[in-house]
Structure 1
């Protein structure tokens, strides 16, 4: 009763992902293939001052997106400065329990060509999507007792996808700890969802926010600054055979913590702390 009431209250104040739901499917079942396919915008919701949830429809209203966990899709829209279509990866915050549509949580950046294009779309306008093998990351079940997550900004979306599976699957006992870096409290994407999931799964999910630009004198009582060695050591599982780390955020975060997301090689802070490339997944 508490759980349902909590999310009803959250929904009344704005968009909520809802409770964690496990709807895991094997890789290779996504309705989008390696060629671009158009999907119509069927709804949009305001999360905060610069974040939206866009709901796109599928051609078959009886089938889910069919995306495996963890994986993303590519979106194409708008134009860059040279007039070429802009392509970006997005991880849905909805699960395969949703039929005939899927949801993307998107931060609308002032200079973001694709996010600005999305924000200007009218209901019924279409956007192109596709899914390629490279977009399939490590797959659930993750096989470790401890899962650490390092997140920056919009990097929360693949973590929400993973948490749906971990927390929503009966019998899964994985302990999850998250370090989530944002500029200010108002910039924390998915805060209501994470607060709700911590309240309902507090024995298994711990989230620690770190704010880099929170105004002095605000009511914020949590960590301030950036994700660094001391905070990783304090809040995340230490290197061991029974842990794995997921990292997703802006390029400077990868550079400082683990090295470029396009390479398997592990460098930076996490390498210095003793983690191995096999223990760190870059999303």
Structure 2
């Protein structure tokens, strides 16, 4: 089990050659890394003996930096001194150009114009030679077109000689000549207009790609139907998308509107959002931070809601009250109408349906079921998500099992997606399920084996999480990191 340190103990390690600090509620001895730090040792010495989480996140460290932290880890910060995890979101987006990226008319304008000119000029010559020849009887029948093209390809000087020779052979009839010129002019104008119009219609290089039809239709089974949405032709106002109310950088106050005691020391709390149609805006698998002034001190803790973005106008929390828990005791004392500060989203989990994993194994203890339930609900309610989930849920007694009715309902409705095994450490004689503590044998029997397409999620009391991590490593899983990453095979909430 990891060592535990208080902030006072960490503050003692802030000399020139003794540099400790706290990052994400974990304690690190950075002394041996002073000379290797890319930014120089002075940066580390400035935050020695303090909680440097905010500075660490603000600078924007790489995955390599978090790997280095593993080697410097010496223990955890005492639980009653935990601060909220500081996370700064820096989303980047690539804008897809809706207009042609290259001005084709500017780049190739002269080339296109010259090609059209050549085509029009050639057509004019062919028409003229052909018409004049027909009028004067130089050729007859279908061979006239080939002869005209062949003749028109000659240089202009040779064409002049050719025409004069032909007129000489036919007596140079003035009447026939002007008749031929008239026909040639009409044919030339007709061909010129037709060819020019056709050529210009084909050169649409500057047309936006959205103007062209799709190469193939969308699959029928993936079409989205939007029902009962008023349009400009209906009498009602346009329906706006729900407003997401939480902010990762700013605290907002939310009012407690309902409070239900669901089991000994466990409360189901309902906080109202600003408007009945608002949504919290929390991505699946992430959590929020709560903050309150308690005994004159600002205290914040992280919690995972059991509600999601389909629950309009509210956020729901399931919390267990601990004797020494500053925040849980405060929540227990809250009256209807009291307010709490919330901000988020927070957390390293980044769940994407059908991409995160084919199979997910979960081991939860007590209130550690809340992040698991959030994922279970999202996967089961999404008919296109084919991810399979297996859950081992540990508690002391049957009365301690939280969200049992909801979990059993999902198992009954989606047996192909979800299986749940309850494990009780203090079961009575009537209990027919698993007894004792979660073991490697239980994991092997009820959860998916280690593979590239499998993820294992853990959440519960620290001793339990530490024991389960060891069990999973013995079964072939990669040990979880000190700081959880979305790509971890074993992810710790």
* Interval of TM-score (by shorter of Structure 1 and Structure 2): 0.7 to 0.9
Give 1:73 shift.
0.1
Give 1:194 shift.
0.9
SS where residue 131 of structure 1 aligns? strand
Which structure shows the higher strand fraction?
1
Please give the residue correspondences for 1:1-283 in structure 2 after superposition, counting only pairs within 5 Å: 31-77=246-292, 79=294, 84-131=297-344, 134-141=346-353, 143=355, 144-215=357-428, 218-258=429-469, 268-276=470-478, 277=480, 278-283=488-493
Tell whether the 8 Å contact from 1:183 to 1:211 is kept in structure 2 after alignment. Answer: yes
Tell whether the 8 Å contact from 1:138 to 1:281 is kept in structure 2 after alignment. Answer: no
SS where residue 102 of structure 1 aligns? strand
Structure 2 gap ranges (5+): 1-243, 481-487
Rate the CA distance shift 1:214–1:51 in 2: closer, same or farther, 3 A.
same
Partners of 1:240 and 1:135 in 2: CA distance? 24
Rate the CA distance shift 1:173–1:164 in 2: closer, same or farther, 3 A.
same
Ranked by relative contact order (alpha carbons within 8 Å, sequence separation 6 or more), the top structure is 1
Partners of 2:305 and 2:430 in 1: CA distance? 32
Partners of 2:294 and 2:335 in 1: CA distance? 17
Structure 1 gap ranges (5+): 1-28, 259-267
Cα RMSD for the two superposed structures = 1.8
Tell whether the 8 Å contact from 1:147 to 1:176 is kept in structure 2 after alignment. Answer: yes
Give 1:136 shift.
4.2
| TM-score normalised by structure 2 residue count | 0.47
Structure (1 or 2) with the larger CA radius of gyration: 2
Rate the CA distance shift 1:59–1:30 in 2: closer, same or farther, 3 A.
closer
Tell whether the 8 Å contact from 2:246 to 2:342 is kept in structure 1 after alignment. Answer: no
SS where residue 315 of structure 2 aligns? strand
